[in-house]
Structure formats: C-alpha cells, structure tokens
Amino acid sequence: MLSLFRSSPRPGAGGQSGVLLTLAQCVPFLIALAVLTIELTPAHFIYTGPLLTAVPALAAVTMAPGRTALAVALALAVSVTTATYNQAWGTLQVYTNFLALALVSIAGFITSGAVRAYRRSELDQVRRIAVAAQEVILRPVPERLGPVRAASLCLAAGTGAQVGGDLYEAVQTRYGVRMIVGDVRGKGLNAMRAVAVALGAFRVVAYYEDDLVAVMNHCAAALRREAAVPGAYPEEALMEGFTTALIAQVPNDEPVVQLVNRGHPPPLALHEGRTRALVPASPLPPLGLEDLIAASREKPESYPLVPGDRLLLYTDGVIEARNPDNDFFPLPEVMESIGSSPIPQEFLEQLHEALIRHTGGHLADDVAMIIADRLEEESGTPVI
C-alpha cells in the first residue's frame, strides 16, 4: 500500500504470538539466573538439579540451534560455578547433574533438528500450494494487445506461506487496451480472495462498460458485496480492508493514456529517454473508502502516450524496496538507464535484476508490474 495509508501492525493474534514466543525464550535464561542466585546464597540447600536440566530442554523447543547452544553453555557455566563455590566437586550429586544436563542437551538438539526439518518441509509444501493458487489468479498478460505490446511480472516477497495481495490484468476491448494494477491490504487467504473478486469484476465489466470510472466503481462494488457476506471475513479484516487500484486505458485511435487512480502509486511514462510520473491532479482514496470522495470529482485523466512511448504500471513493493543503507529503489532512474530499446519482457527482466541487486535479494513486499509499449499502428480486431 501507499505509505500514506500504512498503519502500524495491529495487536492481533500474530502480535500476541510474538510476545509469547519472546517470553518463552527468556524462561531458560531466567531459570539459569534463579539457580545461580539460589546456589550462591544461604538458600543453596534447595536442590536445583532438575531446574538447571530444564534450561536446554526449553531452549531447544523455543530457540534456533545457535541460541540453544548459548543456553546450554550458560547452564554448564552455572553448574561449574555453583559446584566450585559450594566445594561440591567429587560428590555424586554434581556428576549426576552434569550427566543429566548432557543427556537432556543432546536429546534437545536431536529433537529440535527433527521438528524444524518437519516444519520446514510442511511450510515448503504450503508455500508451493499458495504460489500455485496465486499463479492461477494472476495469469501473464498477452504479448500483443491491439495498439500496445505488453508484458507482466509478479514477484513474491520472502513472507513464508502467505500469498500477497498484488493484482494486475490487461485486456483488449473495443474501447482500447484496459489494464488494472492494484494492491489489497494485508496477506493470506483474505487478501487473495479480495484479489480474485476485484479481478473477476474487472475481467467482466471491462468489455462492455464504456466509462472508465464505472469500471473502477464496479470493482469497488464487488469488493463491498464480498465483504458484506456474513462470515466471509474476520471482523478485523472488515475494519482494515481497502485496496489501492489504478485502471489505465490506451485507446485504439488516440495517442493518449487515460487513468483512474484510487490511491495507487502513479505510473511512469518513458518518452524520448526521460520518465515522467503521471500524478493525478485530484488524488482519490483507495477502494473501500468511497465515503471520502464526491462522485462529481471522479473522472478519468488523460496524458500523452505517443508511439514509441513506454508505460509502466507497478505496485508499491517496487518503489518501497530498500537497500542495506535504507535507500528506496530509484525506479525512474533505473527505467531511464534501461531505455526503450529492449522488448517489454526483456525490460522487465532487467528491471527485476536491478531490483534484486538493490535489495540484496531480499524483497520486503510483493511486486507486480505491467509494461505497455505504444506501437505505431493497431493490430488485431477489437473485442466486441
């Protein structure tokens, strides 16, 4: 989403799980501290062997191998320190404690490795299913659509098995080539359901609705109907749900591009080696926030797009990608450096490579892009 509409993470189930996990990871170290305190004070008559044995067991369940090894080392250090302080070397109790600590540590490492391998395998399988479902909904755009030559690209961020909320589509109609790019807030099944609903509405209405604003309104209405279905979404999803969207139309017989932008990053047009952002004169809020706008304000805006120009539609995962120095990805400069000579698919591949170099291969958000080159003359028969 645009940073204007981005909020801090909500204190939901995910946040609560993170807090609980952090607390659980502190428990082994608190136990070691408690044992050390007991053994170095007059309360050392309390038998602390079982308490110290719990340190590696709890660490193996809640921590990665590196931190588990640190907890085991701490437990050994506490055991050596207390045995030395209490002059207990040579007693059966000390050697029994060390043996129990070693056995529990070894068992913890073995169990932790097996559990992590199983979870990784399970996550990989869920991720493959999620990606397959996303690819069914987000199909590649055709290479040639009437007066434009097009290509698309969709990249998933490293977000586990969570599918993203980016959407795109391009279709050839009797009004020209119509394209949509959008970003549903959030991830997971709710976001993918919203993507399917918005794209389904666009793919139907784009062919018969002559008003570009009406096309956008049909997508918004479809999302509202879906959200209104009882039990379709959790309550928190209804409270947060909105979608930034941009619909572009390249007419068959006019050297322009017409845009309806609802809170989405403005597209970039490359003309004679220079890029310009097609910023709307009257910014509008995302879909789902229709109460904030007046119907009379919403109308398509036209910008020049002559043969030879290149148009790039994208989601905010592109411009908000950061490098290790926390610098944003310089999309206009990279677009100018690549130029207009490569065919659209090669252009997106070079843009992808530049994005990966900039981020070091770690995308923080999903990325979707459509590129459209305005050609000299129309090819094909418009769809009726």
Model pTM greater than 0.75?
no
Estimate to the nearest angstrom the gap between the alpha carbon of 353 and the chain centroid: 19
Contact 190, 233 (CB under 8 A): yes
Strand order in the sheet with 148-155: 144-145, 148-155, 367-374, 310-314, 268-271, 274-277
For 258-285, how does the pLDDT look when each residue is reduced to its tens digit (9 = 90+)?
999 999 999 999 999 999 999 998 888 8
Query: What secondary structure does DSSP assign to 110-150, as a single string?
Result: HHHHHHHHHHHHHHHHHHHHHHHHHHHHSPPPPSEETTEEE
d(CA 184, CA 202): 15
CATH class for domain 142-374? alpha beta
Which pLDDT score is estimated for 120? 77
d(CA 114, CA 131): 26
Residue range(s) occupied by CATH 3.60.40.10 in the chain: 142-374
Estimate to the nearest angstrom the gap between the alpha carbon of 8 and the chain centroid: 15
Q: How far is CA 11 from CA 19, 23, 351, in A?
A: 10, 16, 36
Which pLDDT score is estimated for 292? 65
Contact 172, 383 (CB under 8 A): yes
CA angle, corner 318, sides to 167 and 347, nearest 5? 90
Sign of the CA dihedral running 55, 61, 62, 65:
positive
Counting Cα atoms < 13 Å in the Cβ hemisphere of 128 gives 5
Which pLDDT score is estimated for 340? 82
- Which residue, among 257, 262, 264, 175, has the nearest Cα to 220 in the 3D structure? 262
> 298: burial class by Cβ within 10 Å (0-12, 13-18, 19+)?
middle
Query: Helices marked H in the chain — which ranges?
Result: 13-39, 49-62, 65-85, 92-137, 189-205, 212-228, 235-240, 316-319, 331-338, 344-359
- Which residue, among 301, 328, 258, has the nearest Cα to 3 in the 3D structure? 328
Query: What secondary structure does DSSP assign to 193-261, as a single string?
Result: HHHHHHHHHHHHHTTT---HHHHHHHHHHHHHHHHHSTTSS-HHHHHH--EEEEEEEE-SSSSEEEEEE
Which pLDDT score is estimated for 293? 64
Residue numbers of the chain with a pLDDT score lower than 50: 1-14, 160-161, 235-239, 379-384
Strand order in the sheet with 243-250: 166-173, 176-184, 243-250, 256-262, 301-304
> Hey, what amino acid is at 15?
G
